[in-house]
Amino acid sequence: MTESFARLELSEEQRRLAETVRDFADTVVAPAAYEYDTKRSLPYGIIAQMGELGLFGLPFSEEYGGQGKDYVSLCLAVEQLARVDQSLAVTLEAGVGLGMMPVYRRGTEEQKQRWLPDLTAGRALAGFGLTEADAGSDAGSTRTTAELVDGEWVINGSKQFITNSGTDITSLITITAVTGESTRADGSVKKELSAILVPAGTPGLTVEPGYDKVGWHTSDTHPLTLNDVRVPEQNLLGERGRGYADFLTSLDEGRVAFAALCTGVAQGCLEEAARYAKSRTVFGRTIGSNQHIAFTIARMQARTQAARLACYDAAFKLAAGRPFKLEASIAKLVASEAAVANAHDASQIFGGYGFLNANVVGRHYRDSKILEVGEGTTEVQLMVIARCLGFEA
């Protein structure tokens, strides 16, 4: 028991990082969040400042322009941003976990030297194109194809819900595609899925108009169409045929950072609700003096603490090179449910003010639903957890 708790202790350097990002979130991000939410545009000036703080390069080695920190540090940064704005937090989380990490983990030295320096500096963003209209959790239904012709991959298909794919500074989108098929012993066909790097602006790659989303208005999300997109054979990322398996590994890592995002949302809602309950007066007394309100906030605190511990448990195991698949899914499940519940309770405590987009609580209430869907739905997390326990879920 003692060893477990010791492992979750933050270093002084990590604490200073969290404090720095918290101050940045409160003084730079929060005051501008509603304006950019209304405009439904990515605040490139703030993205640049995040790059100057080194946030995009946190878990990457210095030889590629990174900060040489660990995954725990990334989680701390994502959590602090998410307290005040989910859109910018997911821009960082997806940009690192889905856009950059696959290149860092499985790219050739040439690929890493070409793409990572601008990405780690925040001068560019990258996305990962897995999801399709009929394929997401069920990657076997992927229809996008990539055929090797005269030393080039010729890619045809479409992708859906791709984050960071259409910004002014998007430099790269990694695409999963069917690069071949094989026949199993029972006669069924197995698709060979591979990951291929597609630079932004490649002829044939069309970034379709962004979605009219319920929330995450500032986050960049587009469908993509690929019509005879040609890239060099050397743009294969990792081994041919291991595109989906490699992505699952990246997704496990991404779920840890996503859990940190959810934890930040839960914390932000808790802080706002507690502040309001202590200052809002009704019938001559603060609403926080009512036991129901006080108990509601107490439950919000308990949810937030449970989410944070689950997230840190997964993050520390990841950083230590220990197995963390089970812990990642538990963290994502617990933290997303905490965020949704806390957003609901905070909105209720604020009353009519909790239904306004100008109020961060209102935006959290609206934004939080996607937390139960993104980077693996609640049902997928339950399936992963059950399988780790030996059940055929």
Annotated catalytic sites, by residue? 375
Burial of 6 from C-beta contacts in 10 A (0-12 / 13-18 / 19+): exposed
DSSP 194: E
Instruction: Let me know: does 232 contact 198? Beta carbons within 8 Å.
Output: no
How far apart, in Å, are the Cα atoms of 211 and each of 59, 113, 223, 320, 385?
30, 33, 8, 38, 32
Instruction: Let me know: does 125 contact 164? Beta carbons within 8 Å.
Output: yes
Angle at 94 between CA 88 and CA 95, to 5 degrees: 85
Nearest-angstrom CA–CA distance, 340 and 362: 12
Nearest-angstrom CA–CA distance, 87 and 38: 12
Segments in the chain forming alpha helices (H): 2-7, 12-24, 30-39, 44-52, 71-82, 86-94, 101-106, 109-120, 243-279, 291-319, 325-350, 360-367, 378-388
Q: Which helix (H) or strand (E) holds 226?
A: strand 221-232
Instruction: Let me know: does 205 contact 224? Beta carbons within 8 Å.
Output: yes
